[in-house]
Chains A and B, each alone.
Chain A
Amino acid sequence: MWADASVKFVNTFGALAGFAGVLLVLFYFGGRAKGRMSRRLAIVILLGPGLLLLVVGLAVPVVRTIYLSLFNDDSSKYLGAGNYTWALQNDDIHQVLLNTLLWIVVAPLVTTGLGLGLALLVDRLRGQAVYKSLIFLPMAISFVGASIIWKFVYDYRDPAQPQIGLLSQICIWLGWSHPPNWILSHPLNNFLLMVVMIWVQTGFAMVVLSAAIKAIPEDVTEAAVLDGARGWRLFAHVTIPMIRSTVIVVLTTVMITTLKLFDIIRTMTGGNFGTQVLANEMYSQAFVEFNVGRGSSLAVLLFLAVLPLVAYNIMLLRKEREVR
């Protein structure tokens, strides 16, 4: 019932807003010819329908998701906070939340750290453009593609078989005759899956941070050098403070990507073997188990988790602008 009504509402509203927009364009042209309408009012009227559509397009799904999260699987029974209590009391969901937390702490820190290290290192090398391109290359591969490549690396076969994953093969060369089934080895498998995310995103972190390092005014560095700062001291007291906001922006961007993590898990383990994360569990609940209520409650939790990160990012950018 509600779904029907909401779809009809969006459709009708869209049509009316579009129609109103066309009429307002006409009024605007007509009005300008006669000089009746102020410019400010015209802007408000012209942008109005589009803005309204944007609000409806964003607000309706968000409100509807919150609404759905209060009901059972086919929206026939009101559960109140039931789905949230389920999420907070269920052992599987605890594992999911723990994994998600592990991902958003470890993956962004390693990605940014590695990106920074590579930026500092590669900038000193000759032919840095070539190295940078090579490191940046995985960024051009989708997460699904990257996951498939790494799946081959972690592939498990009987060590007596010729078809064996690269990692196991290396282990055998090094004398470890029976390496484990990597994908199944919990909790190690979580870190092995993280390697895919880090492999893809490090190039991005390196390029952004390298640009930030290059943007540090030379006179600042020279002054520090004259004051006797070298090596680690120069890095800790000049470079890092000067690129601090860029580091934080990279960190939060990678963190938000990590929170939305779906493709890598879906492609490599399907969320099995203790590797499930929030976005993938949300999909499984809503579209595999057909429990839209539970799926929606997880979506709301994910939304709430992303919100402070986004707010922090916006605050940082605003601060940056004020400084400038």
Chain B
Amino acid sequence: MHRSTSSARSVLAVGAAAALVLLAGCSNSSTSTGTKASATPTLAGDCAPFQAYAGHSGTTVTMFASILSPESDSLQQSWAKFSSCTGIKISYVGSNDFESQLPVRVSGGNAPDLAIIPQPGLLQQMVKTGKVVKPPAATVANEAKWSAVWKTYGSVDGTFYAAPMSANMKSLVWYSPKAFAAAGYTVPTTWADLMSLSDKIAKAGKNKPWCGGIGSGTATGWPATDWLEEVVLGKYGGDVYDKWVSHQIKFSDPQIIDAMNTVQGWMHNSAWVNGGIGNVQSIASTTFQDAGAPILTGKCSMLQQASFYEAQWPKGTKIGPDGDIWAFHLPAANPAITTPVEGGGEFVAAFSSRPEVQAVQNYLSTSDWATSRIKVAPGWVSANQGVDPSVYTDPVDQLSAKYLTDPSATFRFDASDLMPAAVGAGQEWKSFTAWFAQNQSVTKTASDIDAAWPQ
């Protein structure tokens, strides 16, 4: 009797402990409050520049993004000094499925403290959930270092929510300086020059002037959306572009149809494409990653692709004005438009207003942090005009930064990233793929996309 009571007691004790563990495991608190110092400490020496962020030692800020290793390693290295000086630990998680996981995490009550969002459309969707917290005043003030249009991309219904963090440039044409020099071609600076150069290369008969590929798994079609965006921006300017993005101007509008016809004459021209790969249709089945390779073998001369295409060139390819590969700015289709630059970027949104979260959010909006990130590794550009251009070591980064920080440039964010996902990440990709794969007409392509616009 005595023995069974004692065994029942020990089982009870183990059971109670297990129940506590279970309860703790099921509770949904992922935030860490840490111990806050009673008075803000004074940071000295190397740490002095971080004084504004002091006073939150021992706290952790969770961050979620789509940036994966090795880029995420560079990112973590860029704030290492900030973390060691302020004592704020940034717990970073990157995911390939960021765009689909973030809404699930936010609606599931498990939002990260900070998220690096690459599409204003997704930011808008997150703001609609009511979970996004407005940034502190200091972050809003830092925004002044970016050209004004960036603020609109971090805003929803006129309220500013997320400061831009990085920027990339799409309006580039990759080519081989060696091949150009050997053939006696010069880099075109106007659309007319670009078109006559294309014609000249085609007539020379040695290769095709252009190569291209729009394959990208379920995102197949996106590079073609960039081609149209470049032409709309370079032909009709920022105002028409903005109205087109908000569907005040439809795809079937004569201006957009005209831009689509320009793309048709450029990338659907069987005499001009698809060097080293095949016919016009082959653009649809070639991945964008593979598209540029024929430039290196001399099968085609040019590829319109973003600055991030730099990473696609094989190891050992010398990239630079005198190298194997280099890039030039895609000229405006209408000479009256000054330096059209289409690009993308990432925005830092907060889902918590804890002081340490605000400190990190604020730090990431400064030119100091941007400079620190640029120094870690190439392949990263900021459009923050407070960044000293001499810190860039990579020629493509230098070229991109030159255009992205140019106050006279007409910068616009990637239109398909701004349009509702059902259009920009759905019907537009599908219809543009059919435009190339089945030679679907421009008018049908445009009307199909208009029909998919959410009512």
Contact = CB atoms under 8 A, between A and B. Distances in A.
Interface in B205-234: 215-221
Contacts of A92: 430
A25 B15 CA distance: 8
A186 B438 CA distance: 9
A15 to B, nearest CB: 4
B421 A158 contact: no
Interface in B24-72: 26-28
Interface size class of A (residues with CB under 8 A): 35 or more
Most interface-central of B218, B220, B284, B438 (chain A CB within 10 A): B218
Contacts of A33: 4, 8
Contacts of B99: 287-288
B252 interface: no
A76 to B, nearest CB: 8
Contact of B433 (A26, A161, A273): A273
A73 B455 CA distance: 11
B376 interface: no
A22 B278 contact: no
Interface in A1-56: 3-4, 7-8, 11-12, 14-15, 18-19, 22-23, 25-26, 29-30, 33
Nearest to B17: A22
Nearest to A162: B297
Contacts of B215: 270
Contacts of A158: 276-278, 282
A270 B220 contact: yes
Contacts of A15: 22-23, 26-27
Interface string B118-152: 00001001001000000000000000000000000
Contact of A183 (B8, B217, B285): B285
A183 B282 CA distance: 10
Contacts of A266: 217-218
B220 A184 contact: no
Interface in B402-422: 421-422
A284 interface: yes
In this complex, the interface size class of chain B, counting residues with CB under 8 Å from chain A, is 35 or more
Contacts of A12: 26
Contact of A271 (B100, B128, B218): B218
Contact of B28 (A7, A288, A289): A7
B107 A22 contact: no
B99 to A, nearest CB: 7
Contacts of A25: 11, 15
A293 B110 CA distance: 21
Contacts of B125: 74, 290
Contact of A273 (B19, B426, B437): B437
A139 to B, nearest CB: 25
Interface in A229-286: 266-267, 269-273, 280, 283-286
B103 interface: yes
B207 to A, nearest CB: 11
Interface in B77-109: 97, 99-100, 103, 107-109
A11 B279 CA distance: 56
A267 B26 contact: no
A288 B421 contact: yes
A11 B27 contact: yes
Nearest to A273: B437
Nearest to B5: A33
A128 interface: no
A181 B285 contact: yes
A190 to B, nearest CB: 14
B27 A19 contact: no
B425 interface: yes
A270 B26 CA distance: 37
B218 A22 contact: no
A23 B26 CA distance: 17
Given A4-B107, A291-B422, A184 B281 contact: yes
A270 B215 CA distance: 9
Given A26-B15, A156-B282, A289-B426, A184 B218 contact: no
A189 to B, nearest CB: 10
B27 to A, nearest CB: 7
A272 B27 contact: no
Contact of A4 (B4, B109, B285): B109
B26 A18 contact: yes
Contacts of A280: 218
B437 A26 contact: no
A92 to B, nearest CB: 7
Contacts of A7: 28, 108-110
Interface string A78-114: 0000000000000010000000000000000000000
Contacts of B218: 266, 270-271, 280, 283-284, 288
B140 to A, nearest CB: 27
Contacts of B22: 15, 18-19, 22
B284 A289 contact: no
A22 B19 contact: yes
B454 interface: yes
Nearest to A289: B426
A157 interface: yes
A223 to B, nearest CB: 57
Nearest to A154: B285
Interface in B267-304: 276-279, 281-282, 284-285, 299
A166 to B, nearest CB: 16
B391 interface: no
B278 A290 contact: no
B130 to A, nearest CB: 10
A272 B286 CA distance: 12
A37 to B, nearest CB: 14
Contacts of B278: 156-158, 181
Nearest to A183: B285
B187 interface: no
Interface string A106-127: 0000000000000000000000
Interface of A: 3-4, 7-8, 11-12, 14-15, 18-19, 22-23, 25-26, 29-30, 33, 73-74, 76, 92, 156-158, 161, 181, 183-184, 186, 266-267, 269-273, 280, 283-291
5 contacts: A3-B108, A158-B277, A184-B438, A273-B433, A290-B103
Closest 3 CB pairs of A and B: A287-B100, A15-B26, A289-B426
Given A11-B26, A18-B19, A285-B426, 17 more contacts: A4-B108, A15-B23, A15-B26, A19-B23, A92-B430, A156-B285, A158-B276, A270-B217, A272-B221, A273-B285, A273-B437, A283-B218, A288-B99, A289-B422, A289-B426, A290-B122, A290-B421
